[in-house]
Amino acid sequence: MAFRSGTDARAPDAACEALSLDIVATPQGVRAALARAAGMLSRADLCPTVQGCIELVLAEALNNVVEHAYSTSEGGRIAVRLDPRGETMLLELRDNGRPMPDLTLPEGQLRPLVGSGDLPEGGFGWYLIRRLAVRVTYRREAGTNVLQIEMPLGRQSKGI
């Protein structure tokens, strides 16, 4: 790849093949997808933290589709693709649920943690995605939500 440094010749072996899944949009479907993704990622010989972060971000992205895009409908499906691209792993999710409000990705700000009675029990998902990904894009394409998340694979990552 163009920006692989000469001194770090042994880039992560992400030469594993891309993985495509078509899952049912339920928490159990998400679990099954994550198990398949973990198998694929373990063949890519990544460091455990990098692999763990990819699994976490994929989980958060899938949970969002189940809980929001398909919150009012049953039987929805999600097409998931994990595609190694040199220095990053592309995660692509396609679903036919409701579009993002205003066709815009949530900012994912972490709310201040004050007192124990008023602690937030949710709203961490987009924060984690944005914190760990190098790039996140969303578009609506003929009734389909297309979410693309690029996760760092190597040592030139965001200091995670």
Interface contacts to other proteins, rule CB under 8 A: 27-28, 30-31, 34, 48-49, 52-53, 55-56, 59-60, 63, 66-67, 110, 113, 115-117, 119-125, 127-128, 131-132
Which two three-digit tokens encode residue 141? Answer: 């394409």
Query: Toward other proteins, which CB reaches closer, 86 or 124?
Result: 124
Query: Toward other proteins, which CB reaches closer, 29 or 84?
Result: 29
To other proteins, the closest distance from the beta carbon of 4 in angstroms equals 26
Tell me the CA distances in angstroms from 115 to 100, 110, 122, 123, 127, one per residue in order: 31, 15, 16, 17, 21
To other proteins, the closest distance from the beta carbon of 151 in angstroms equals 14
To other proteins, the closest distance from the beta carbon of 150 in angstroms equals 18
Picking from 88, 110, 104, 85, the residue whose alpha carbon sits closest to that of residue 147 is 104
Query: Toward other proteins, which CB reaches closer, 12 or 29?
Result: 29
To other proteins, the closest distance from the beta carbon of 60 in angstroms equals 6
Query: Toward other proteins, which CB reaches closer, 51 or 88?
Result: 51
Picking from 90, 25, 83, 28, the residue whose alpha carbon sits closest to that of residue 57 is 90
The dihedral sign for the CA sequence 87, 93, 94, 98 = negative
Which residues have C-beta within 8 Å of that of residue 20, sequence separation ≥ 6? 79, 80, 81
